[in-house]
Structure 1
Amino acid sequence: MVEDPTSTHLNPDMQGVVLTTAARQQKTLDDLIKLHSGFPMQEQKSRTEIAIGSVQGEELMAKAIDYAFSDAVRQQDMTSLLGTISASSLEGRDAIWAMLQNKWSFWQNFKGSFIFLNLFRKFICMVGRMLNNAIARFDTAEKADEIEKYFNDNPIETARRAVSQALETVRLKAKWLERDGDDIRQFLSQYKQ
C-alpha cells in the first residue's frame, strides 16, 4: 500500500482499521505520512489523518502534531487530527493541552484561508469542539482550576461556551471520582492480571 497508494487490494471499508492498527506500531508514522500525501481521494486522506492521530509515544505524537500544522493537512482537517491525538491516550490528551498553550496566539488569531463566512463559522465550531474534547478529558479539580485560570488570562471569545462546558465536565468527573473512586478501583482490582 505504501508503494502504491492507489492500489485497490484493500477493501476501502477496512482501510481505516488497518491504518489505525498500523499506527499503533512504533515504526509506521513516516509510512502513514507518505500514504497521506500519495492518496488521491480526500476520504482516504481523512482516514489516514485519524490513523496518524492514533500514534503512541511522546516523540511520535509531537511529530503528528507538527504534521497537523503542515501544508499537507487541510486547515479544516487539522482539528480532526489533533482531536484524535487527544482522544488516543492520556499522553495524547496532555500533548494536545501543551500544544494548545504553546500555539495559543495561532488559535486566537487564526483566520486562515476561510474567505467565506460560513466556512469560517464552521472552523470556529471545530476549534470549540477540539478545545472541549481536549479539556474534557481531564478529571481533577486542580486541573479544572488550572485550565480556568489559563482561559481567564488568555480568553478566546469564540470558544468561551465550549471551554465552559468542558470545565463543567472535568469538575463533574472529579466529583464523581472523589465520591466513587475507591469503589471503582476496588471493583477493577478483581480483574487485574
Structure 2
Amino acid sequence: MESFQSVNEYVVWQIISLYIESMYMTWADESDDLRQRIQAFARSLFSPLAATLGWCHRDTDSALEARLRAISIPRAGWAGDTQVIDEACRLFDEFYHNPDNKPFHHDFTSSIFEIAVRSGPSHNYDLVKEMYEHSARWHLSEDHRMAALGAMACTSDCDRMWETLDYALSEHVLPQDLNIVLGFMVSANHHSKHVVWKWFTANYQRILDRLGECSALLGYVVKTTIGDFCTLDMADTIEDWFRNKHTAAFDRSLPQALEFIRIRAKWHDRDIEDVAEWFKQHVDL
C-alpha cells in the first residue's frame, strides 16, 4: 500500500476509490471480518494522503492538490479514520453554533455533514435536519442545503433511516429530491440498501402518489433502490415483486438493473474465496 503514496494523479485515486466502493458493496455483507478489512484497506490508502494534504486550502495549492484533498478526506472518514472523524465533528459543531464564521472551505461542506451524522454523536442528525429546514440561518447555498438532506440519509441507525425515508416523502422535500436521499442512503453503509428496499416495498403506493405512476422520477427511484444488490436471490426477489406491477415508467431501467445485479452476483460467487483470502493475508485489523 505504501507504493500508492507516491501517486499524485487524481484520476488514479478516483479509480481506486470507485473500485473500493464496488468491492465494499459486493462483499460487505459477507462477514464483519471482510467488511472491516476492506475499510482498513481504504484507510491505509486514503488516510496518509488526507493527513499530508490537511483540511486547509492554501493560496499556493494547485488544482490537483485541491481535488486530491476533496477525495481523500471523505474516503478516509468513510473508512473510519478517527482523526478525520474527530476533526469533521469538531468543525461541524463549530459551524452549527457559529454560522457566521464558517470554519472550513465550502468544498468540505457535504463531507463534513455526512461524517458528522454517520460517525458522530446521534444528535448531529437532528442538527443537520435543522440546517436543512432553516438553511438561511447558516447561509447554505442550495447545493449545500441538499448536502444537509443527503447527510440525514447517512445515519447508521435503522430507525432513523426509516424516519429519513418517510421525511423524504413529506411536504418538506420536493418530489425530485427523493432520489437524492435514496442515493445517499444505499451507499452509506452495508445494510442501508436492505432498509431502503423494505421501506420501498412497504410504501410503494405512497411513492406512486407522490411521484406519479408514469413519472420519469419513478424510474430513477427504482433504479437507485435496487441497483446495489449483489445476490441472485435478491434479483429473483425483486423480479417477483415487480411481476404484477405497472412498470411502464421503468420498463428499461428495471431489466438493466436486474442484469447488473446478476452480473455482480456472479462476480461475488466466483471470487469470494480469493478476495477473502487476499484481505486476510494482506490487511491487518
Matched-pair contact (CA < 8 Å) for 2:175–2:211: no
- Bigger CA radius of gyration: 2
Task: Letter of the 2:278 partner, please give it.
Answer: F
Gapped regions of structure 2 (runs ≥ 5): 1-94
Structure 1 outlier segments of 4+, above 4 Å: none
Which residue in the other structure is 1:185 paired with?
276
Residues 1:16 and 2:110 are matched in the alignment: yes
SS in 2 for 1:90: coil
CA distance, structure 2, for counterparts of residue 179 and residue 42 of structure 1? 44
Aligned partner of 1:63 among 142, 158, 163: 163
Question: C-alpha separation between the residues in 1 aligned to 2:101 and 2:178?
Answer: 27
Distance in structure 2 (CA, Å) of the matches to 1:106 and 1:45: 25
3-state DSSP class of the match of 2:252? helix
Given residue 141 of structure 1, which amino acid in structure 2 is its aligned partner? L
- What CA deviation, in whole Å up to 9, does each residue of 1:130-164 have, x standing for no partner? 32232121111111111000010223220121111
Q: Distance in 1 between matches of 2:113 and 2:143?
A: 13
Seq. identity, %? 22
Return the letter of the residue paired with 1:86: V
State whether residues 169 and 207 of structure 2, in contact with CA within 8 Å, keep that contact through their aligned partners in structure 1. Answer: no
Query: How many positions carry a matched residue from both structures?
Result: 183
Give the aligned partner of residue 115 of structure 1: none
The residue identity in structure 1 corresponding to 2:186 is S
- The equivalent residue for 2:129 is 33
CA separation of 1:34 and 1:4: change in aligned 2, threshold 3 A: farther
Deviation at 1:44, TM superposition (A): 2.4
CA distance in 1, matches of 2:114, 2:211: 31
Distance change (3 Å), C-alpha of 1:13 and 1:30? same
- Corresponding residue for residue 190 of structure 2: 90
Give CA deviations for 1:75-99 in whole Å, capped at 9, x if unaligned: 2112101221111122210111011
2:208 aligns to what SS in structure 1?
A: helix
- Distance in 2 between residues matched to 1:110 and 1:68, nearest whole Å: 10
Q: 1:111 and 1:47 mapped to 2: Cα distance?
A: 22
